Structure 1
Amino acid sequence: MNYFLVKSEPFKYSWEQFNKDGRTFWDGVRNYQARNNLKLMKEGDLVLFYHSNEGKHVVGIAKVVREFYQDPTTDDANWVVVDLVPVETLKNPVTLEQVKAEESLKDISLVRQGRLSVMELKATEFDKILEMGS
């Protein structure tokens, strides 16, 4: 199993909307590193959902239910999407400030590459964030 974090601005696509929809394809990625991370996602992998810009906190857990395929919002074959479903809302959202203050998370992309929208996490990093949100 692999672990990831995806970022979305709540006014564009919120955790609440994702839960109402029940499933979505993760589109709009136009950064090659983020795209490569989408291509690493396998069915069953777990994904933290992070609200960026407004709130700046991890709010829930999603699961990959379809591996990468052509982004249907563009004809450019460079861009892909994966399908995600919501799994669980965190009891306590984990803020960016909490993540930055946690020594074991100082090297994650959320801290080091703030603009990256799709990032891989180590199992220990994923578990630590879940622990902080329980």
Structure 2
Amino acid sequence: MTAPQYWLMKSEPDECSIDDALAAPNATVPWTGVRNYQARNFMRDAMRAGDGVLFYHSSCAEPGIAGIARVASGARVDPTQFDPDSPYYDPKSKPDAPRWQLVDVQALRKTRVLGLAEMRGVPELADMQVLKRGNRLSITPVTQKEWRALTDMLEHGDAPG
């Protein structure tokens, strides 16, 4: 069995906030609407049930990590790609050859919002993908060192060290 991995997954809180995820049945939500091939490939090829997730609020007044979650399922077909009424409809995707995947994410707990400015001040996070200029991916891997530093900050309120 492989060791769990860690991920940062962005969600617009107007669409699915940490509060929405915690209120969902079994605190589990399908991570629909990913329409970037690299992010899809992370879900399809690398994510496993049990992996840790930093639940990140994006495109909002206070972007940042807002909760801790875990991957709750393996990858499966995202049905929103076939729904013409969905904002994630993809007319080029066909049921016999789907393009897009999703995983289920189970919210574990809400945290204080840990923003980019605070993260940028932590040496252990210097190489974190979400902090790189121009990064727009909605799902990025997080190293074990980054996960430990961030969860320590969220639990104790300050930078590690």
Percent identity among equivalent residues? 33
Please provide the CA RMSD for this pair: 1.2
Kindly tell me the number of residue pairs found equivalent between the two proteins: 133
Alignment partners' CA distance in 2, 1:36 and 1:106: 24
Distance 1:97 1:130 in 2: 16
Return the structure number with greater strand share.
1
Q: Which consecutive residues of structure 2, in runs of 5 or more, have no partner in the other structure?
A: 83-92, 156-161
| CA distance in 2: counterparts of 1:84 and 1:46, whole angstroms | 10
CA distance in 1 between partners of 2:57 and 2:139 (Å): 12
Name the aligned partner's letter for residue 87 of structure 1: L
Deviations 1:32-73 (A, max 9, x none): 111111121101111110011211110111111111011111
Cα shift readout 1:103-130 (whole Å, capped 9, x = no counterpart)? 2112111111531100111111011111
Partner of residue 79, structure 2: 72
Distance between the aligned counterparts of 2:58 and 2:34, measured in 1?
14
The yes-or-no answer on 1:86 pairing with 2:93 is no
Does 2:50 correspond to 1:44?
Answer: yes
SS where residue 11 of structure 1 aligns? helix
Q: Residue 28 of structure 1: SS of its match in structure 2? A: coil
**Residues 1:13 and 2:11 aligned together:** no
Task: Tell me whether 1:23 sits opposite 2:44 in the alignment.
Answer: no
Q: Do structure 1's residue 56 and structure 2's residue 76 form an aligned pair?
A: no
* AA in 1 matched with 2:16: Y
Cα distance in 2 for partners of 1:131, 1:94 equals 12
The structure whose Rg is larger is: 2
The 4+ residue runs of structure 1 with deviation greater than 4 A are none
